[in-house]
Every structure is written in C-alpha cells, then in structure tokens.
Amino acid sequence: MVQPLIDGFKNFREEYFAEGSVLFQKLVRRGQAPKIMVVCCSDSRVDPAILFGLRPGELFVVRNVANLVPTYSPDDQLHGVSAAIEFGVRDLAVSEIIVLGHAFCGGISALCKKLIEENKDGNNVEKKSVDRDFINRWVNIAKPALKEINFDDWPGNSQHEAEKKAILNSVANLKTFPWIKAAIKNKKLRVHGWWFDMENGALWGNKESSNEFVKLVPGSV
C-alpha cells in the first residue's frame, strides 16, 4: 500500500534534487518564507499546493477537519490550529490568509445532520450522533454560523450554504486573535474566505463588504 508513496518520492526527488536544482538548497540555507497561509480541510481531495500549482516553500498550510478556526482562547489547553496560525502570522509574517473550504465537506455535513436531528428531537440528538472522541466537539466551532440555515432541502443547496457560512465563521474567528486584528489594521495582512466547488472545478471567494461569495474562477457549468 505504501509503494506508490515511495515511487512518488522518487519522482519528487528527480524533479527537485536533480543536478542543477537549487530550490531546496535555498530553502535549507535561508529557511522558509511563505507569504500566504491556507487554512484548509484535511480532506484528501483538497490539496492546496496542487490546487494552486505552488512549489515547496511557497505556502504555509494549516489543515484540520472542516477547515475550522476556533476563537482566540489563550488558556492551558492544547491548541494545535491556533499555534500554527500564530507561527504563520507572528513568526513567518505571512501577508495573506485564505480559509479554503470545499463542496461535500464531511465535517460540515456531520454538523448539519446533527442540527437537523436537534430540530426534530431536541436534546435527544446526542444519542443519535456517531460516537467520536474529538470530531463532534470540534465541528461545533461552526455551529453558531449555521443556525439560520433552512435545511428543508437537505442536502440540496443547504449543504453548500453551510460550507460557505462555516468559512465566514472561521474568517471572523481569525479576527478575534489580537495580533491578526492589529496586522489587518496596519494593512500588513489580509484574510480571505474561498470555497472550492470540486464538482464543477470552480473557485469562489467572499466579498468582504457583503460576505457574498462570487466566482473567482468559473468551472465547467
């Protein structure tokens, strides 16, 4: 099962470590200095470096279930996502952050199904939820953003609406971090919400003035 990875690494090595290739020599000598951070989903179908055609060293990537960002909470708990975001902003000094969501996100779908059950059965939903140690609590980060969605046509358009609202929720949560807020105010950092329509190959981005999503790159439909 792992042989394709080994073969893939051989191809990678031929491209980036061939005679005359100096990319990794520079990255080792100078360190990484990406200008863009992407907070994206762990979904195997959504690899930002492949989607955007970037080389090693050009993108700082933070991946988690459903591309979520929690609010700023500097307590004694473990905060892997917040730690990565802090490193990207305060140490690497990225100038752009993109929260990249996508169509048919399993994490958002699970949260939506939970909300649908809550609407039907009230507090009995916990008995029907899939038993997981971490995921259910994690996806609840997006719960406040989905309360106004009408799930009558589920999955229909409501799933994609939920995915986009979750992106905007993460964008808003990023702005609760004081050093992100300060960097935005000083025009050293911009934050974007993007949604990848994997069914049609389109890329959507939010208009900050209205939170409306518009097509950045049209797809096949």
Over residues 8-67, the pLDDT tens digits come to 999 999 999 988 889 999 999 999 999 999 999 999 999 999 999 999 999 999 999 999
Cross-strand bridge partners of residue 207 = 212
Nearest C-alpha neighbor of 100 from the set 157, 177, 32, 174: 174
Q: What percent of the chain has pLDDT over 90?
A: 80
3-state secondary structure of 31: coil
Count the Cβ atoms, other than its own, within 10 Å of residue 32: 12
Average pLDDT, the chain: 92
DSSP tally for the chain: helices H, then strands E: 9, 6
Q: Look at residue 125 in the predicted model and tell me its pLDDT.
A: 45
Q: Look at residue 122 in the predicted model and tell me its pLDDT.
A: 58
- pLDDT bracket for residue 5 (50, 70, 90): very high
Tell me where in the chain the CATH 3.40.1050.10 domain(s) lie: 35-217
d(C-alpha 207, C-alpha 209), whole Å: 5
What CATH superfamily is the domain 35-217?
Carbonic anhydrase (3.40.1050.10)
d(C-alpha 156, C-alpha 43), whole Å: 21
d(C-alpha 100, C-alpha 197), whole Å: 11
